[in-house]
């Protein structure tokens, strides 16, 4: 499976940095929301439009200890979901997107880099 991405506020990511990462959605919904390369920018601008800072974690699904399922969202588009904590050694890159004219812009190419 190609790389998947998780969007997170820096203040949330830094909490408990010595432990596996648990997003609020894991407790509330049973999984951690992720995105494929082509979905990152749209998701960031939809769900984090008002955030002043944002981190995008590039994950290697083969390194995750928790299962990943690709499932439809409310719009019917397929998104990856991580069903358990994210072990920090599965994070292969931390991306710091930029805001351009009030929108998040990402240095992510079509090949996932």
List pLDDT tens digits, range 80-102.
Answer: 999 999 999 999 999 988 888 88
The Cα–Cα gap between 57 and 92 comes to 8
pTM: 0.89
The verdict on residue 24 lying in a domain is: yes
What is the pLDDT, as a whole number, of residue 111? 42
CATH number of the domain that residue 12 is part of: 3.20.170.20
Q: Which domain holds residue 58?
A: 4-104
* Distance, CA of 52 to CA of 32 (rounded, Å): 22
Answer yes or no: is 113 within a domain.
no
14-64 confidence digits (pLDDT tens): 776 778 999 999 999 999 999 999 999 999 999 999 999 999 999 999 999
Tell me if 111 is assigned to some domain.
no
CA–CA distance, 25 with 35 (Å, rounded to integer)? 14
Number of domains present in the structure of the chain: 1
Does 67 map to a domain?
yes
Q: Is 112 contained in some domain?
A: no
């Amino acid at each position: 499976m190609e790389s998947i991405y998780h969007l997170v506020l820096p203040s949330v990511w830094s909490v408990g940095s010595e432990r596996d990462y648990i997003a609020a959605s894991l407790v509330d919904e049973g999984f951690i929301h992720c995105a494929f390369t082509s979905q990152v920018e749209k998701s960031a601008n939809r769900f984090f439009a008002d955030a002043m800072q944002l981190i995008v974690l590039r994950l290697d699904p083969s390194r995750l200890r928790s299962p990943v399922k690709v499932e439809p969202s409310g719009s019917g588009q397929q998104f990856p979901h991580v069903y358990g904590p994210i072990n920090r050694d599965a994070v292969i890159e931390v991306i710091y997107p930029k805001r351009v004219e009030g929108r998040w812009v990402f240095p992510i190419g079509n090949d996932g880099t």
